[in-house]
Amino acid sequence: METQLQQLIEHWPEEALSYRRVGAGEMLFRQGQPANAIYAIRSGSIRMERDLEDGSTVVLHTARAGETFAEAAFNASHYHCNAVAVSDSDVLVLASKVLNGETADLALHKLLNTILANQVRELRTLVSLRDIRGAEDRLLAWIQLQPQTRAGEIVISQTWTVIAQAIGLTRESVYRALSNLVRKRVIERSTAQSDDRTERLRLL
């Protein structure tokens, strides 16, 4: 899907593309402002949060490098949440005006559809994963859903800390679950980190 995002950017009319840097803590947009763009994060991370009547706020999502957000710009006239940079971030701004009107590009809409449909699929599996109570079972299910190489190995390209967040566990729980799975001979971890940095897993 990284590839799909690339495609989207390439197909987007140049005149509707721009960059923007936001420092940590800075706001990219605010709740109530007119929504006129979709964003893609090149680096950093952005948190979306909704202000509530009582002054408190609820986090709706935290988008990381490689993700898009504010797709709501399609239908809503204004943003329904604040976008705050968690760390210094570099975002690509895709003006949504090119989507409206009779002359809008059909191919662009199709591309957008497939990207969104994929995202829906990923998110649903993420939610389902989190329905698995046990840490071991949850982690194992996640592992089993990762793509395998022809050699039957699974390449772990993120840090376990990040994976832990994704599947809704603390990193400690994940490490413990990993240890247990190895001890029970369910998986094997590539202790061989000779030259490359990436870890490899094998299901037994």
Find tokens 């763009």 and name the residue.
37
Q: What is the DSSP letter of 65?
A: T
For the bound state, the minimum distance from the C-beta of residue 173 to DNA, rounded and expressed in Å, comes to: 3
List the structure tokens of 92: 């690509």
* Residue 9 binds which of DNA, a second copy, none (CB < 5-8 A, kind-dependent): none
Show the beta-strand stretches assigned E in the chain: 17-22, 27-29, 37-43, 45-51, 57-64, 68-69, 82-85, 89-95, 153-156, 187-189, 199-203
* Residue 120 binds which of a second copy, DNA, none (CB < 5-8 A, kind-dependent): a second copy
Q: Is 131 in the site for a second copy (CB under 8 A)?
A: yes
Q: Is 75 in the site for a second copy (CB under 8 A)?
A: yes
Q: Is 77 in the site for a second copy (CB under 8 A)?
A: no
End-to-end CA distance of the chain: 29
Among 35-43, 66-74, 92-100, 157-165, the segment contacting DNA (CB under 7 A): 157-165
Buried residues in 2-36 as b, exposed as e (16+ CB within 10 A): eeebeebeeebeeeeeeeeebeeeeebbebeeebe
Q: Is 120 in the site for a second copy (CB under 8 A)?
A: yes
For the bound state, the minimum distance from the C-beta of residue 64 to DNA, rounded and expressed in Å, comes to: 12
Which residues of this protein are in contact with a second copy, per CB under 8 A?
A: 50, 52-54, 56, 58-62, 71-72, 74-75, 99, 102, 104, 106, 109-110, 112-114, 116-121, 123-128, 130-131, 141, 144-145, 148, 165, 168, 203
